[in-house]
Structure 1
């Protein structure tokens, strides 16, 4: 992505917190009034699971972005897990325990009741999979895994050190932690990411984690980047 003459607002993990996302977007819209440059919102993934309103979050992200903005939604490990379940690569119970149960509740489905009706069967899985509208599934399948510019990388979890960006593995980009953290001072670009909850986003070498645990804390965080300068915004400010 060419970030010249562009204001970027990166938003951390949402996890079904629809109201917090809408409130943060309103703060971003107010903040952006001072700039005339192109404005882009980059969502860092994990829109679903654990929180109460996964369906509403997906519907919101599928709709047009706030007026005057472009929006790019990256994929997180929780979106990957949902797609793996739908495609038969991840079995039901691990996915439900991963946060899928709350996601299904948001679609009006009680997986435990279906399991009691059908037992642990393919029929129960079929009913559960039918609960996710095809348009939502299609949207999730289109999500890119990373956005980068000459100076910045935006990704859900991080990058594997020593590997060129174009050769990075999707599993690392959506799940990595320690190997990435340990290499923070050797990175050649600024990496903005989520995935790992922090109390306060703080620069560690050239990485900045902006996942402030919206579900647990009620605080959803965005990073505004103008040139080489950043500022944190929150729905709670």
Structure 2
């Protein structure tokens, strides 16, 4: 497993940073923001969590924003259906921003490499293809590209390619994986925003002037520290998805179950 992860990380992270994804800034942040952790194909849990968020927000005034922290696909059973869900209208009264995770990048790399990036298949990709009706091993390997092209809608690929990589809203910064706390936001590399782990950098509880809200590294329960909130609780393993509500200085955790 360690060797597999090494190959995946080596192949997927660019040695030279290329033109990056869009980075959003809300000069006037919404009064209430809900940040949702890694979905990983768990559509049922996502719908339950969104229902709880809608109920929680019913009596809250002002703008309300849903921020999805990336990794919508792989591992769970319903990746294609999760993307369909995110392409539909958000719940009434909400704005929505979806960020790009590293699993979205791996899927696109698989497509753009003419299906040669096969390590992704063992990293949750087989489950994603199955959600589109493409079953690895059910046909000769030479036919896999044709099956993928015929079953994955262009609309889904356009959605994944268009995802921004960062949202800065007031004193909160939303990314998939984290940041290097030693660098300003405009110096952060996309690969760090999508692939880093908290252990990679000297996160010692220092005050960096903002709160980073991220997923990517699964934890047992939502991890809240002075400068960082990790919302990934491994939904694909236990079927429970988490979110945090951010309103002023208040942080509230919401679970799907």
> Could you state the TM-score of these two structures normalised by the residue count of structure 2?
0.85
Q: 1:95 aligns with which of 117, 120, 132?
A: 120
* d(CA) in 1 for partners of 2:183, 2:111: 30
Do 1:185 and 1:204's aligned partners in 2 also have CA atoms closer than 8 Å? Answer: no
Report the Cα offset of residue 112 of structure 1.
1.4
Counterpart of 1:46 in structure 2 is 71
Do 1:81 and 1:90's aligned partners in 2 also have CA atoms closer than 8 Å? Answer: no
Does 2:161 align with 1:141?
A: yes
* d(CA) in 2 for partners of 1:131, 1:103: 12
Q: Over aligned residues, Cα RMSD in angstroms?
A: 1.7
Equivalent residue runs for 1:11-160 within 5 Å: 11-88=36-113, 91-114=116-139, 117=140, 119=141, 121=142, 123-160=143-180
* d(CA) in 1 for partners of 2:210, 2:177: 15
**Change in 2 beyond 3 A, CA 1:207/1:89:** farther
Aligned partner of residue 113 in structure 1, secondary structure: coil
Do 2:240 and 2:255's aligned partners in 1 also have CA atoms closer than 8 Å? Answer: yes
Gapped regions of structure 1 (runs ≥ 5): none
> Could you state the TM-score of these two structures normalised by the residue count of structure 1?
0.92
Does 2:188 align with 1:163?
A: no
Q: 1:211 aligns with which of 232, 237, 257?
A: 232
**Change in 2 beyond 3 A, CA 1:38/1:60:** same
* d(CA) in 2 for partners of 1:226, 1:218: 27
Do 2:220 and 2:233's aligned partners in 1 also have CA atoms closer than 8 Å? Answer: yes
Gapped regions of structure 2 (runs ≥ 5): 1-25
* d(CA) in 1 for partners of 2:96, 2:176: 15
Counterpart of 1:182 in structure 2 is 203
Report the Cα offset of residue 184 of structure 1.
4.5
Post-superposition Cα deviations, 1:7-44, rounded to whole Å, max 9, x if no partner, equal 10000000000000000000000000111210000000
Equivalent residue runs for 1:212-227 within 5 Å: 212-227=233-248
**Change in 2 beyond 3 A, CA 1:181/1:13:** farther
* d(CA) in 2 for partners of 1:5, 1:102: 36
* d(CA) in 2 for partners of 1:53, 1:32: 27
